[in-house]
Amino acid sequence: METIAFYRESVIKTYGLAERTDLCLVTIALPSDRMGDWGTVLADLTARLDVSLLLLLARPLPANGLRLLLLLDKSPSGRERMEAEQVFLDEFQAPWRVDQAVELVYFQGPHYGDRYGIASAALNALDVQNVPVLAMACTGASVYLITPEGKARLAREALGKAFMTPETEKQETGI
């Protein structure tokens, strides 16, 4: 069964733009054929580092690999991080890349998962304003954009021009 939906929006609506700053992005290239092993190591990671996971994404790499990105709420301390990284290095020859102080802008909107053009509009908005993007995930009705340090505010401003937020809607309608 198929349900057809019309969206009469001159500007794509969001439920609001949010941002987080001072985050930590850990990137690891892992062997796909050893996921059973590194999945177990990964399971202990947030407890070992005393951090919280905000976002995770992964994509395949050529030659049987998976690049895993973990966005954490803070940078793990030096010693804990070195110990955790060593496990990945020893077991899977997978050194970490750590981007400190990265930032996150995210938003949701009505039925985004079923609508075309959302990711394109977001990327285009940032491109027009020359805002660099480290990573992007669109899943369900949510869009997440990870930017380098100091760029979330610019990203939010750029997205605010391309998407309608409750604030801009209020200004437009006076309600």
Partner 1 sequence: MDTPIQKFSVGGLKLSTELIQIQLFSNAPVPLNEIFRRLTDRQINLTGVSLEAIDGQLTGICCLASEDRGRAEHVLQPFEGSFELRSPVGTLTIFPHLSRLELIGQILSALGRIGLPVYGLASSHSSLTITTDYHRLDEAVSAICRLVTLPDNHAPFRPEFRVKQL
- For partner 1, the binding residues (CB under 8 A) are 1-7, 27, 32, 34-47, 52-61, 66-70, 97, 111, 113-117, 119-121, 123-124, 127, 132-140, 142, 144
Asked if 49 contacts 124 with a C-beta cutoff of 8 angstroms, the reply is no
Nearer to partner 1, 53 or 89 (CB): 53
Please report where in the chains the tokens 């070195």 appear, as a residue.
82
Smallest gap from residue 21 Cβ to partner 1 (A): 17
Q: How far is the CB of 42 from partner 1 (least distance, A)?
A: 4
CA dihedral of residues 111, 124, 29, 48 (deg, nearest 10): -60
CB atoms within 10 A of CB 119: 13
Task: Give the residue from 150, 62, 141, 65 showing the smallest Cα distance to 106.
Answer: 141
Nearer to partner 1, 32 or 86 (CB): 32
Is the Cβ of residue 86 or residue 171 nearer to partner 1 in the bound state? Answer: 86
Q: How far is residue 10's CA from residue 20's CA, in Å, rounded to a whole number?
A: 28
**Shortest gap between Cβ of 171 and partner 1 (angstroms)?**
26
Task: Give Dmax (Cα) for the chain.
Answer: 61
Nearer to partner 1, 77 or 171 (CB): 77
